[in-house]
């Protein structure tokens, strides 16, 4: 299954950059050619251009939900509204729109959002808070597990 793992967020806003930090860590792993890892930064709706040709999408991001900072959250594309998703920052304001348009290419059942609840999204902070940084290895492990669970082979 051709899978795209895309990390989004603004690394200048502290914990908002968790998705980008995560894909940078994932890029250190040797993944098979049917898995592509992309730093989506703050591209927003422009990310749709990356989705063409993929059967599965995993989005990594900061997610503001009712949970303690550093909590890892998994949301299926079809469940995004029912789970009470709230964007952590401005770049996420169109995530539901992106998922709507993505469904033209990839069924929402094949879209997974993995996020970490941010502690701080302070302007001009390049570092993650301690609790979000501590969650980063677990987030990477979860992504690798998601790939294995969907019969995508990984060599790490």
Nearest to 87 by CA among 107, 115, 51: 115
DSSP 99-142: HHHHTTTS-GGGEEEEEE--S---TTB-S--HHHHHHHHHHHHH
Q: Structure pTM?
A: 0.84
Query: Within 13 A of 10's CA, how many CA atoms are on the CB side?
Result: 16
Helix (H, G, I), strand (E, B) or coil at 57: strand
CATH class of 3-155: alpha beta
How much is the average pLDDT of 94-117? 77
Which residues on neighbouring strands pair with residue 111, listed in sequence order?
Answer: 57
| pLDDT tens figures, 12-51 | 999 999 999 999 999 998 887 889 999 998 887 788 788 8
Pairing of strands 3-8, 111-116: unpaired
Residue 129 has pLDDT above 50, yes or no: yes
**Integer Cα distance of 145 and 122 in angstroms:** 31
In the prediction, which pLDDT does 36 show? 93
Q: 40: which residues sit within 8 A by CB, 6+ positions away?
A: 6, 7, 8, 19, 20, 23, 47, 50
Residue 120 has pLDDT above 70, yes or no: yes
């Amino acid at each position: 299954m051709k899978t795209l793992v895309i990390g989004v967020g603004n690394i200048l806003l502290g914990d908002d950059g968790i998705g980008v930090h995560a894909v940078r860590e994932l890029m250190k792993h040797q993944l098979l050619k049917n898995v592509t890892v992309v730093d989506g930064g703050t591209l927003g709706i422009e990310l749709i251009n990356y989705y063409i040709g993929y059967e599965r999408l995993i989005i990594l991001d900061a997610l503001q939900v009712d949970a303690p900072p550093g909590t890892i959250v998994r949301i299926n594309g079809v469940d995004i509204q029912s789970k009470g998703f709230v964007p952590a920052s401005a770049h996420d304001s169109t995530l539901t729109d992106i998922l709507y348009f993505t469904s033209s290419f990839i069924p929402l059942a094949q879209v997974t959002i993995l996020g970490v609840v941010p502690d701080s999204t302070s302007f001009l902070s390049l570092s993650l808070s301690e609790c979000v940084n501590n969650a980063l290895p677990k987030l990477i492990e979860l992504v690798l597990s998601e790939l294995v669970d969907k019969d995508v082979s990984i060599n790490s």
